[in-house]
Amino acid sequence: MVRRPARPLGPIVTLLVALPIVAVGAGGVARAQDARELQAKEACLGGHPDKGIELLAQLYAETNDPTYIYNQGRCFEQNGRATDAVTRFREYLRKAQNLAPDEKTDLQKRIDDLEAQTRPAVTVSPAPATAGPVAVTTAPPAAEATGPSAHAYKVAGVVAGGVGVAAVAFGVVMGLRARSLSNEVTNDAVDPNGGTFSQSKYNDGRSAERYEIIGYSVGAAALIGGGALYFWGAVHDQERAGSPALSAWFAPGDARIALRVRF
């Protein structure tokens, strides 16, 4: 008989030894994953959402399981960060392809509720309890002039007018003095008893003529400016007196609005 050579046992023994090692390694990875899930849950519930979100992001990067994205949304929601929670829930809807219709409906309702929390509150005033007519009259506030008020324009106009009158009066006095000195110079020069020319009177007369012109010029300008200022103030008074007022009258089954202008 021919003896068959013995079959080597090395590969078989190696395989039997390797299998428990692989099983132990997979179990270690699972336990590490479970530990990080627990840490993430504790961080979210303990008021440390950033830490929990980071752990969940690591788990999703390793497994591509969109459940970790959903858990990120829940972590944000538990810590009052509605806007961030909505972002993660929408990402979960996009990543999770095999969701049942009722799951999608429930998640969309959760998103709608969170978005409602971020909208500003609208306060509605209750209607008055009385059923009688209600009259409302609204008038715009008096126009606030950026410059002087109407009264100030009028006062300035009166003051300017007074200055104008005084200047004109000064011009009249200077004019009379200039004529008087001119007559004196002329009479002195033609005096039959030996006329003389007075240079000082002549100079005084010329000065009086200049003051006369200045008085008339300043007086005219002041009178014109004062009249314009007073007129402008009067126009402001008329505009204020003619401001419109909006009147509204409400009663059950009847509502009327009227625009009223006061003159």
* Tens-digit pLDDT profile for residues 70-93: 999 999 999 999 999 999 999 998
- Residue 217: the pLDDT is 94
- pLDDT (tens digit, 9 = 90+) per residue, 166-191? 989 998 999 998 889 888 878 777 76
Does residue 148 register a pLDDT over 70?
no
Measuring CA to CA, which residue among 219, 223, 227, 225 is closest to residue 169? 219
The residue ranking higher by pLDDT, 169 or 153, is 169
Size (the chain), residues: 263
DSSP 8-state symbol, 245: E
Measuring CA to CA, which residue among 27, 52, 25, 33 is closest to residue 41? 52
User: Maximum CA pair distance of the chain?
Assistant: 193
CA 53/CA 45 separation, integer angstroms: 12
- State what percent of residues in the chain have pLDDT above 90: 33
